[in-house]
Amino acid sequence: MPFNVLIVDDSPAMRSFIRRVLDLSGFPVGICAEASDGQEALDLLRGQSIDVILTDINMPRMDGEEFLRRRAQDAHMRSIPALVISTDRTASRVHRMLALGASGYVQKPFAAEGLREELERALGACHARG
């Protein structure tokens, strides 16, 4: 079953790379939507069926932390697993993002296999809960 993925990143190059890596990994992708910041992602989530979110942290207008905070306030959005993708691998940052409701944390640089494993783990945990 293909999954609808939302990529949230202010870098068009990184969004393209994530699309490429998803393809290389063999992860079954249906719709691959993109947003360049947290606000755009929230707007998109209100109107589109998304199965999993991949989000950056440092973004203009609304960053990844605020995006996760707002997502947590909405019952529907909260049910969609969200993986954080970031260069920041410090324990304090990872803990903060997980505390805000992130389902996982993928550190850059990452390989296709690693991203797929994290996606499957997050979606599996989500379905197990649901």
Partner 1 sequence: MREVELVAHLRPAFTEVLETMFFTSVIDICATGAAAGPPPIISRLRFRGDPSGVFEIGMTGDAARRLAAAFLGEDEQELSESRTGEVVCELANMLCGSFLSRMGDFTFELSHPEIVPSNLEAAGTSMCFELPEGRVAVGVRFGELSQAHA
Residues that bind partner 1 in the complex, under the rule CB under 8 A? 10-14, 16-17, 20, 58, 60, 86-93, 107-111
> Considering beta carbons, is residue 21 or 123 the nearer one to partner 1?
21
Please state the closest distance from residue 69 (CB atom) to partner 1, in A: 17
Q: Which is nearer to partner 1, 19 or 121 (CB)?
A: 19
CB 40, CB 7: distance < 8 Å: no
Nearer to partner 1, 75 or 91 (CB): 91
Q: How far is the CB of 53 from partner 1 (least distance, A)?
A: 20
Taking the C-alpha atoms of residue 69 and residue 99, their distance in angstroms, rounded to an integer, is: 10
CB of 64 closer than 8 Å to CB of 35: no
Could you tell me the smallest distance in angstroms from the CB atom of residue 129 to partner 1? 30
Q: Min. distance of Cβ 57 from partner 1 in angstroms?
A: 9
Instruction: Report d(CA 19, CA 11) in Å as an integer.
Output: 13
Minimum distance from CB of 50 to partner 1 (Å)?
24
- Looking at the Cβ atoms of 78 and 89, the one nearer to partner 1 is 89
The answer to whether 64 and 97 are in contact (CB under 8 A) is yes
CB-wise, 94 or 126, nearer to partner 1? 94
| C-alpha distances out from residue 29 to 32, 38, 101, 110, 130, Å | 7, 21, 23, 18, 21
Characterise 39 by phi-psi region: left (phi > 0), alpha (psi -120 to 50), beta (else): alpha
